[in-house]
Amino acid sequence: MKNTILYSLLLAAVCLFSTCSLLQSAGEKEREIGLRPGNIAPNIDLNDPDGFNRQLTDLRGKMVLIDFWASWCGPCRFQNPLIVRAYNQYKDASFKNGDGFEVFSVSLDEDRNRWVRAIEDDGLIWPNHVSDLDGMNSYVVLLYELPSIPASFLIDGDGVILKRNFDASQLDRLLAKYKR
C-alpha cells in the first residue's frame, strides 16, 4: 500500500513536470537564425573604413536597416538619398521593439578609396559602414544569399527580421508602421 502511494505520487509529479514543460515550450517560440521574416538575422562582423571592428549585434535594442550596396552600383546610389532622409527622420524615434533607428551599411566594394568617397559624396552620415573589400566574393553575399544589390533587411531591436528585399522608397512607410 505504501509503495502504491509513493508510486502514484511519483507518477503524478512526472506528469505535472511534463505538462509544465510542454506548456512552457509552447509559450516560448524559439527563434532561429535565418533569412526569413521572423528569423534572427545572421550576425555580420566586418571592419569600418578606419579598420575598427563593427558587428550587427552591437546594434541590438534599435531598429536597423541592413543595406547592402557598393559605390559602383547605380541603383544603390540612387536609393541613398531616401535612406539618408529616413535616417534623419527616425534616428531618435521609439519603435514597438527598439529605441532609435540605425543603418548598417555593408559595402560590396573592392576599392577602399571609392567606398569612402561614395560615403562622403552621398552624405551617408551614420557611423556603421563596413566592408571586407572582397566585393561580390564577400562572405556576406553567401551568408545573406544575395543574388544582386541593392538588397535590404529591416530588423527590430531583438535582431528579428521584419522585412527583406524592399525598395528604399518603402522605408519611410515601413518605419512608420513599427513606430510607437
pLDDT tens for 2-22 read 554 434 433 444 343 343 433
**HSE-CB for 30 with a 13 A CA cutoff:** 4
Query: Is the confidence at residue 171, as pLDDT, over 90?
Result: yes
The share of the chain scoring above pLDDT 90, in percent, equals 83
Q: Which residues have CB under 8 Å from 179's CB, separation 6+?
A: 90, 93, 94, 95, 96
- Report which of 148, 153, 146, 147 is spatially closest to residue 168, judged by C-alpha positions: 153
Question: What pLDDT sits at residue 15?
Answer: 42
Question: What pLDDT sits at residue 30?
Answer: 74
Say whether pTM exceeds 0.75. Answer: yes
Write out pLDDT tens, residues 33-88: 999 999 999 999 999 999 999 999 999 999 999 999 999 999 999 999 999 999 99
Three-state helix/strand/coil letters over 10-66: HHHHHHHHHHHHHHHHHHCCCCCECCCCCCECCCCEEECCCCCEEEHHHHCCCEEEE
Question: What pLDDT sits at residue 147?
Answer: 97
Write out pLDDT tens, residues 107-150: 999 999 999 999 999 999 999 999 999 999 999 999 999 999 99
Mean pLDDT within 89-97 = 97
